Chains A and B, each alone.
Chain A
Amino acid sequence: MPQQQTKLIQAMGMPFTVIAIDADTAAFQLATQQIEAFLQQVDRDFSPFKSDSLVSRFQRDELLLTDWTPEFQTVYGLAARAQTATGGAFNPYFRGVWDPTGVTKGWSIQEAYNRYLTPLLQRGATAVALNGAGDMQMGVAAGSDWHWGVGIEDPQSSQRLLYRYELQNAAVATSGFSKRGDHIKITDATHSLVQATILASTLIEADVWATAALAMGRVAFTRAYHGQALLVDAQQRLITLGGEAVA
């Protein structure tokens, strides 16, 4: 019977669930403390709601070159790259000012996972995962046959699941209009989607494409993206992309 350790962290106004299977208890606790400290730091640096964050100071043109931390450079570069990769569907200027929030969340989860959870896999843990408000990065130890059971929420009810994936080393991101539709502009209303779930190897990619899918609509998205995805359209139909039959 595998032993599961779970820790809930509140940061950036979001719930982060850290899960490890068969990990050393002390190592797990240390990792969760490090993840919490990292996420608080990301919040201080990248929150657009904090007036002294790097992002707010950049928006006011007050950010000195000395303040461009390696993390800020990374997020700035990712936001620009995400915009070109999605043909502009992902836009860090969607509010008129530069706001990288759309990549910050995915990047911070992926970064925290790489820095603090993957070392546990080398130290005896079977599997580790970090789920930040529904977007997650997960992995298993080399040679392990453990599979994460990942449920995808029904956009009509957060108490129901639509789908279940079995994954080993992967990232999953879901975007939807049910709760956070305000920051996405629809470019194709006739083929609009209400929810998009993307499976990729890194969460940054999954997260950016999940947002882009909602903006693009089904037709443009399926033309632009060639990975695995689970879409729900306005008629509540399930569309699976990437080797799966349409349900």
Chain B
Amino acid sequence: MKKVTGFIVSLIVLIAIILDGFWLFFKNKNAQTETSTTSGTQQTASADSTGATSSTSSSSSSSSSNSASSSSSSLKDGSYTGAATSTQWGDVQVQAVVSGGKLTKVNVLEYPNDNGHDQKVNSQALPVYKKEAISAQGADIQLVSGASETYKGFTGSLQDALNQAKEGSSDATTTN
């Protein structure tokens, strides 16, 4: 009787070891090959998305779980819906439709927000001069809004001049 119990116990231990080995090596390997086949050449992209996910987690925690689930099941047919992003015009969600293992369609789900314009700009708009041009140096101005686009054109612009003037007059820690 003692021998039989001993045999059964060692059999259970053996099975446990085999199962453990299976989970540890086979399953893990499986998971690894799956991700490497799906992301293959996109090594950088997947690294980017994890970095980005961790930094967006403060604004939408659901986005990380969403992107994780969509990446592991990229080859299965179906539709995958991303995290909702709230915008001035309501929530926006992107839905990807996969068929035959390929991305075939992208839908943008929209949930319009009727009171979009009710959000007040916390601002006071004060017209100072109307027809005559005002000088940036004379008026109390820190920021300049304009249609200028390029970095090259920035040198000598009003914002550049303001930045430099502040640098010279205070103990600002400006480094370029």
Interface residues of B in 85-113 (CB under 8 A from A): 85, 87-90, 92-94, 96, 98, 103, 106, 108, 110
Interface residues of A in 84-143 (CB under 8 A from B): 84-85, 114-115, 129, 131, 133-136, 138
Tell whether, in the assembled complex, residue B117 and residue A76 are in contact, meaning their CB atoms are under 8 Å apart. Answer: no
Tell whether, in the assembled complex, residue A64 and residue B142 are in contact, meaning their CB atoms are under 8 Å apart. Answer: no
Complex CA–CA separation, A174 to B38 (angstroms) = 42
Taking CB atoms, residues of chain A closer than 8 Å to B117 are 226-227
Taking CB atoms, residues of chain B closer than 8 Å to A147 are 124
Tell whether, in the assembled complex, residue B151 and residue A70 are in contact, meaning their CB atoms are under 8 Å apart. Answer: no
Is B46 positioned at the interface, with any CB of A under 8 Å from its CB?
Answer: yes
Interface size on B, residues (CB 8 A): 86
Tell whether, in the assembled complex, residue A247 and residue B130 are in contact, meaning their CB atoms are under 8 Å apart. Answer: yes
Tell whether, in the assembled complex, residue B173 and residue A164 are in contact, meaning their CB atoms are under 8 Å apart. Answer: no
Q: Which of A68, A81, A169 contacts B67 (CB 8 A)?
A: A68
Taking CB atoms, residues of chain A closer than 8 Å to B121 are 167, 169-170, 199-201, 227-228
Known: A7-B174, A10-B151, A64-B74. A71 touches B56 (CB 8 A): yes
Interface centre among B42, B119, B159 (most CB of A within 10 A): B159
Q: Which of B130, B142, B175 contacts A238 (CB 8 A)?
A: B130
Is B6 positioned at the interface, with any CB of A under 8 Å from its CB?
Answer: no
Q: Which of B49, B92, B120, B129 contacts A80 (CB 8 A)?
A: B92
Distance of B173 from chain A, by nearest CB (Å): 6
Closest A-chain residue to B90, C-beta based?
A: A81
Closest 8 CB pairs of A and B: A176-B147, A153-B146, A77-B92, A160-B133, A80-B108, A15-B154, A247-B130, A69-B49
